[in-house]
Amino acid sequence: MVPGAEEPDPKGPTSASASGVSPLPVRALRREAERARGWLESGVWRPDAADAEAAARVLARLTAPLPRRGAAWARARAVDRDRRLQRIWRSAVHHLDAGAVSPPAAALLAAVARAYVPWYGTPNPPPAAAAPRYPVPSGSAAPEGAAAHGAATRDAADRPEAPPTDAGEALLPGLTDVFTALAAPAPPGTGDRYPAAVPWRTRYAGHLRHYGRPARHVWTADTFRCPGCSNADGPWTVVCDWRRVTLGCPCGLTTDRHGLTFSEVFLVLPDA
Ligand SMILES: [Zn+2]
C-alpha cells in the first residue's frame, strides 16, 4: 500500500499536523499508484525499456540511504532527510519531462512530483529569480500572493515553510514497492505493453509558465499567451492524455503548440 492510499490518518500525510506543517498533496498519487499497482500485477502493463529505466532511476532515489552521521549532527541529519526527498522530486520531474516514458508512467511520475512538490526548493532553493516556482500546497499558511513572482513576494518564497518531512518519508515504502515492480525486467518471451492512460480534463484560471535554462544558473520564464487573443489568464480548458496537453482558451482557440512541459502544467493545477 502507498501510505497515502489509506484512510486519512490523524498523524498521516493527508492532514495538517499540530506544528502547522502543510499536508502533502497526495490525492493524485494515491490514484495513480493504485492504478499502476493493479496494471502491473495483472500484466496489463509490462514496462518497456524506457519505463523500466526511468523507474530504476527514481527507485534509486527512493531507496537512497541517508549519509552516516554522528549524534552531534542532528541539524545536518534534518537537511539530509529533506535533500533525499528533494532528489526524488527532481528525478520524477526530470523523467516526466524528458518525454521518453509511456503515458501511464508519465501519469505516475507526475503524481510523485506533485506529492513531493514541497521540496522543490528545500533544502536547496532555485538559484535564480526566474527559476520555476510552484504553488505552496493548499492548506498551508502561506501569505496571500506567495505564489506570485513579484519582488515583494520573493522573501516569502525564498523562505518556504518547513516541508512535512515525516509525511514525505512515510510515502517511501509504498512508492518503493510500485517502482520496484515498474523497474523489474519483463519475463522472457513477453513483449512490452501498456494500458491506455486515463485522460483528464480540467479548468485552470491562472498563468502557465514555461521555463528555459539556457545556461547553468540562468533561467528564463515565459508566460503562455493564447496565440489567438493574447489572453494569459485563462481560464484554460486543460486536456491531457499524457502524450500531449491541449489548452483551450475562452476565445475558442485550442492548441497543443504551447511549449509547456507536463510538469509546468500539472504542478500548478490543484491536486485532484
Ligand atoms: Zn484566446
pLDDT at 95: 97
Beta carbons within 8 Å of 50's beta carbon, 6+ residues apart: 100, 101, 102, 105
**Between 103-115 and 27-42, two packed helices, what is the crossing angle to 10 degrees?**
140
Distance between CA atoms of 177 and 175, rounded to whole angstroms?
Answer: 5
Q: How far is the CA of 172 from the centre of ligand 1 (A)?
A: 42
For residues 240-262, average pLDDT: 97
Q: How far is the CA of 43 from the centre of ligand 1 (A)?
A: 43
pLDDT in tens, 1-41: 444 433 343 333 443 444 556 678 999 999 999 999 999 99
pLDDT in tens, 140-197: 333 333 333 333 333 344 445 688 999 999 999 999 999 999 999 777 777 888 898 8
Q: How far is the CA of 31 from the centre of ligand 1 (A)?
A: 32
Which residues are within 5 Å of ligand 1 (an ion), measured at CB?
226, 228-229, 231, 249, 251, 253
- Asked if residues 118 and 164 have their Cβ atoms less than 8 Å apart, the reply is yes
Q: Could you tell me which residues are beta bridge partners of residue 215? A: 218
Using CA of residue 176, residue 182, residue 187, residue 188, what is the dihedral sign? negative
- Asked if residues 58 and 92 have their Cβ atoms less than 8 Å apart, the reply is yes
> In terms of DSSP bridges, do strands 200-204 and 236-240 run parallel, antiparallel, or are they unpaired?
antiparallel
Single pTM value for the model:
0.82
pLDDT at 162: 82
Q: What is the DSSP letter of 227?
A: T
Q: How far is the CA of 207 from the centre of ligand 1 (A)?
A: 13
Q: How far is the CA of 245 from the centre of ligand 1 (A)?
A: 16
